Chains A and B, each alone.
Chain A
Amino acid sequence: NAGVTQTPKFQVLKTGQSMTLQCAQDMNHEYMSWYRQDPGMGLRLIHYSVGAGITDQGEVPNGYNVSRSTTEDFPLRLLSAAPSQTSVYFCASRTGITGELFFGEGSRLTVL
């Protein structure tokens, strides 16, 4: 039972480069989301999706794009990386508004 799988676990980028963080879940959850975690700031929601073909912005969406073509996958794209995007990124999914939010192990991104 894999749960939520994120890749890569670590990535170093140069300013201006683009990349995609992959997220896949095998629990048939309708809701998927991306967070970034920075010291002392808790978790901030970047984008979320409540089903295939449906995405919406969270608290800090600028500089990021998402798509949801299948129930399982929810990739996060950084369009032109900036040092301010240095962070740990978590993908999470849940079923229902009372259900547990399941997290991936995180992706640590450094932008030089």
Chain B
Amino acid sequence: AQSVTQLDSQVPVFEEAPVELRCNYSSSVSVYLFWYVQYPNQGLQLLLKYLSGSTLVKGINGFEAEFNKSQTSFHLRKPSVHISDTAEYFCAVSDQSNYQLIWGAGTKLIIKP
């Protein structure tokens, strides 16, 4: 069975500082990987996804993530955060044969002015 672990429930960071949100997964098969963002009182929206090819994936709002197969990780990074990045971020994984996504518990990004 697949599982997703987001190691930090909250990450506080100063505005304009870099940030990394960690995601590790376990799976016995090849997977697709996703990061979604949820702004307060909204639904989730896709930040970026890894399907194949280059392990460095760029998404919206200046975010990027790197797929590391040997470490089964898909960490999300941004070089300089803004107040508007305040949100909860979810990592998700699916195997390559069905629609279901397995979700991490989420990481709240808290931007300190």
Contact = CB atoms under 8 A, between A and B. Distances in A.
Interface of A: 4, 31, 33, 40-45, 48, 50, 58, 90, 92, 94, 97-98, 100-101, 103-106
A103 B94 contact: no
Contact of B51 (A40, A48, A98): A98
Which among B9, B42, B99, B103 has the highest number of chain A CB atoms within 10 Å?
B99
B90 A103 contact: no
Given A97-B98, A98-B32, A98-B49, A105 B103 contact: no
Interface residues of B, number: 24
Interface string B56-100: 000000000000000000000000000000000010001011111
A90 B96 contact: no
B101 A42 contact: no
